[in-house]
Amino acid sequence: MDSFLIRGGTRLKGKIEISGSKNSALPIMAACLLGEGKTTLKGVPRLSDIDSMSKLIGELGCHVSRHEPPANIAEAGEPSLPALNGPLDIEVTDENMCEARYDIVKTMRASICVLGPLLAKRGKAIVSIPGGCAIGDRPVDLHVRGLQKLGAEFRTENGNIVGEVRGRLKGCRMYLGGAQGPTVLGTINVLCAAALAEGETVLVGAACEPEVVDCAELLIKMGAKIKGYGTPEIRIEGVEKLHGAEHRIIPDRIECGTFMIAAAMTNGELELKNCNLDHLIAVVDRLEEVGVKIERQNGTIFVSSNRRLNTVEMTTQPYPGFPTDLQAQLMGLLCLADGMSVITERIFPDRFLHVGELNRMGGRVRKEGPTAIIQGVKELQGASVMASDLRASAALVLAGLVAKGTTRIDRVYHIDRGYEKIEQKLVAVGASIERVKEK
Ligand code: EPU
In this predicted model, what pLDDT tens digit does every residue of 77-88 receive, in sequence order?
Answer: 555 667 678 999
348 lines ligand 1 (CB under 6 A): yes
Give the pLDDT score at 356: 96
| Region of poorest pLDDT, from 163-167, 209-213, 303-307, 345-349 | 303-307
326 lines ligand 1 (CB under 6 A): no
Average pLDDT rounded to a whole number, residues 246-260: 98
Average pLDDT rounded to a whole number, residues 19-42: 97
325 lines ligand 1 (CB under 6 A): yes
Identify the residue whose C-alpha is closest to ligand 1 atom 35.
325
| DSSP letter for each residue of 297-349 | ETTEEEEE--S-----EEEB-STTSB-GGGHHHHHHHHTTSSSEEEEE-SSST
Give the pLDDT score at 308: 87
Between 209 and 411, the higher pLDDT residue: 209
Query: pLDDT band at 73, cuts 50/70/90?
Result: low
Identify the residue whose C-alpha is closest to ligand 1 atom 28.
325
Q: Judge contact between 268 and 12, C-beta under 8 A.
A: yes
In this predicted model, what pLDDT tens digit does every residue of 196-243 receive, in sequence order?
Answer: 999 999 999 999 999 999 999 999 999 999 999 999 999 999 999 999
Does the pLDDT value for residue 76 go beyond 60? Answer: no
Does the pLDDT value for residue 46 go beyond 70? Answer: yes
Average pLDDT rounded to a whole number, residues 26-47: 97
* Residues designated as active site: 133
Average pLDDT rounded to a whole number, residues 165-169: 96
Q: How far apart are CA 284 and CA 306, in angstroms?
A: 16
Average pLDDT rounded to a whole number, residues 68-80: 63
Query: pLDDT band at 132, cuts 50/70/90?
Result: low
User: Quick one: which atom of ligand 1 is closest to the CA of 179?
Assistant: 7
Q: How far apart are CA 42 and CA 79, in angstroms?
A: 16
- DSSP-derived letter for residue 352 is -
Average pLDDT rounded to a whole number, residues 7-32: 97
Query: pLDDT band at 135, cuts 50/70/90?
Result: confident
Give percent of the chain with pLDDT exceeding 70: 96
Rounded to the nearest whole angstrom, what is the distance from the C-alpha of residue 138 to the centroid of ligand 1? 7
Does the pLDDT value for residue 131 go beyond 80? Answer: no
Rounded to the nearest whole angstrom, what is the distance from the C-alpha of residue 160 to the centroid of ligand 1? 20
Average pLDDT rounded to a whole number, residues 272-295: 96
Q: How far apart are CA 237 and CA 227, in angstroms?
A: 9
CA angle 277, 279, 284 (to 5 degrees): 55
User: Quick one: which atom of ligand 1 is closest to the CA of 418?
Assistant: 41
Pocket probe for ligand 1: among 109, 184, 209, the residue whose CB has the most ligand atoms within 8 Å is 184
Between 68 and 310, the higher pLDDT residue: 310
